[in-house]
Amino acid sequence: MYQKRQQKVLNALKERGCDGLVLNAGPSLAYFSGLQFHLMERPVVFLLVAGEKPLIVVPALEEQKLDTVDFDLEAISYHDNPSRWQESFDSACRQIGLPGLKIGFEPRQLRMLEYGYLETASPSTTYTNADEAISQCRALKDSAEASRMQKAVSIAQDSLLAILPRIGAGMSEHQVAAELVIELYRQGSEQPLPFSPIVAAGSNGANPHAKPSRRLLRQGDLLIIDWGARWQGYVSDLTRTFAIGQVDHEARRIHELVLRASAAGRTAARPEIPCSAVDNAARSVIEAGGYGTFFSHRTGHGIGMECHEEPYIHDGNESPLKPGMSFTIEPGIYLKGKYGVRIEDDVLITKDGNRSFSDLNRELLTI
C-alpha cells in the first residue's frame, strides 16, 4: 500500500517538474510510510527520490519503529549529541543523491530545524511547494480510510450521548469539556484527540473558536459543543447546539436557519460540482433569513488524517468534488453578546452523491 502511495505522489511531483519529496514528522509522513512520529527537538526526515530507495533520518531511540515498515527503507540514525546531527544529514543527502535536485516539501509542516540541516548538507538542492501533489493523493479516501473515519465519528457520537444526561445548569464549560474528554478516551478514541473540545455557552458561543471557561451554564443558554475523536490515525469533527432549558424566539429561529443550511449543504454535495457550490447552498439559506453577515467562516474543510486538510469548502474554490473526498459541512450564526449556533457533520463524496458519517440528532435538543 505505501509503495503505491509513494509512487503516486512521485508521479504527481514529476508532472510538476520535481524529482522527489521531503517529509518530516506529521500526517503526510504517516500516510506515505505508515510511520508515526511527533514533532520534537530531535528532527525526523523522510526522503523520497525517483529511482532511489526511500531513506529516513531518525534519532536512535526511534529506530525500533522502523521494524514495522513493509517496504525497502534505508535508515540513518543519530544519537543525542546535537553537534553530530549534521553528519547524519550530510550522509543521507549524499546517499540518496539530493544535490542538484528539485524537491517538494510541505510549507505548513517542514520546520526551519529540518530545512537548516538539509540546506547545509546540500546547498544546490532547490525546494518547491508540494501541497498540491500531496493533497492530490491524500484527499481521495479509499474504503479502508472511510471505515476508520466512520469509526472515529461513531466514537465521538457515543461519547457525547453518554455525557448528555450529566450536563445541565450549574456546570461550567470547563467541567463539560473535562467529562467529554474522559468519555472520548473511555469509548476508545486514540491519543491525541484531534483538538480540544469547544464548549461555549451563551455569549461565549458567539466566538466560533471559544475556549472552555469557568462560566456556568444557565437556564436560557444556547450551548455549542464542537468535539472529535481519533481512530487508527483518522479523525472526526462534529458540532451540535443545545438549549439549556427554555431559550428565546430568536435563538430558536437562528437554530432553524442553521439546520436548514446544513441540510442544503449536504443536499448539494456531489461529484463534479465545485466546492463553492456547497458553500453557496448553505450560505444562501442563512442570507435569505437575514443573518448572512453573522455567518463568518467557510462552510467546511477537508478531514481525514488531519482535522483541517483539502478540500476547503468556501466561496471562490472552484475545484470540483471527487468521489472519496471527505469534508465537514458546518454552517453557523454568531450574534455577539448573545449566543451562537453551529451544526457540523462529516461527509464523504460517493459516485452518485454523498453520505454523512454522522447521524446524531441535529434538532435543538433541550437539556
- Residue 110, all three cell numbers: 517542514
Percentage, residues of the chain above pLDDT 70: 100
Instruction: Identify whether the C-beta of residue 220 lies closer than 8 Å to the C-beta of residue 257.
Output: no
Contacts of 240 (CB under 8 A, 6+ apart): 160, 224, 225, 343, 344, 360, 361, 362, 365
Instruction: Identify whether the C-beta of residue 216 lies closer than 8 Å to the C-beta of residue 176.
Output: no
Give 263's pLDDT tier (boundaries 50, 70, 90): very high
Neighbours of 107 (CB within 10 A): 10
Please give the average per-residue pLDDT across 157-181, as a whole number: 98
Residue whose C-alpha cell is 517538494: 104
Please give the average per-residue pLDDT across 39-49, as a whole number: 98
What pLDDT is stored for residue 331 in this prediction? Answer: 98
Cα–Cα dist 40/121, whole Å: 21
Please give the average per-residue pLDDT across 172-201, as a whole number: 98
CA 293 centroid distance within chain = 26
Q: pLDDT, tens digit, for every residue of 189-216?
A: 999 999 999 999 999 999 999 999 999 9
Q: How many residues are listed for the chain in this entry?
A: 367
Helix or strand holding residue 230 (H, E)? strand 230-231
Is the C-alpha dihedral spanning 92, 97, 102, 103 positive or negative? negative
**Residue 93's beta-bridge partner residues?**
none
Architecture of the domain made up of 143-366: Alpha-Beta Complex (3.90)
What pLDDT is stored for residue 68 in this prediction? Answer: 93
What pLDDT is stored for residue 104 in this prediction? Answer: 98
Fold for the domain defined by 2-138: Creatine Amidinohydrolase; Chain A, domain 1 (3.40.350)
- Residue 299, all three cell numbers: 462552510
Q: Provide the b/e sequence for 197-220 (b: ≥16 CB within 10 Å).
A: bbbbbbbbbbebebebeebebeee
Contacts of 86 (CB under 8 A, 6+ apart): 117, 120, 121
Give 232's pLDDT tier (boundaries 50, 70, 90): very high
Please give the average per-residue pLDDT across 90-100, as a whole number: 97
> Any alpha helices (H) in the chain, and if so which ranges?
2-15, 27-33, 85-96, 112-121, 131-138, 143-163, 173-186, 249-268, 275-288
Contacts of 237 (CB under 8 A, 6+ apart): 194, 195, 226, 228, 303, 307, 328, 344, 346
Cα–Cα dist 197/200, whole Å: 10
Percentage, residues of the chain above pLDDT 90: 100
The DSSP call for residue 194 is: S
Give 230's pLDDT tier (boundaries 50, 70, 90): very high
Mean pLDDT (the chain, rounded): 98
Q: pLDDT, tens digit, for every residue of 268-325?
A: 999 999 999 999 999 999 999 999 999 999 999 999 999 999 999 999 999 999 999 9
Give 60's pLDDT tier (boundaries 50, 70, 90): very high
Instruction: Identify whether the C-beta of residue 211 lies closer than 8 Å to the C-beta of residue 198.
Output: yes
Cα–Cα dist 126/80, whole Å: 29
Q: At what angle do helices 2-15 and 131-138 cross, to 10 degrees?
A: 140
Cα–Cα dist 50/18, whole Å: 9
Helix or strand holding residue 62 (H, E)? none
3-state SS, residue 98? coil
Query: Among 78, 77, 14, which residue's Cα sits nearest to residue 48?
Result: 14
Domain ranges of the chain: 2-138, 143-366
Cα–Cα dist 102/193, whole Å: 36
What pLDDT is stored for residue 37 in this prediction? Answer: 96
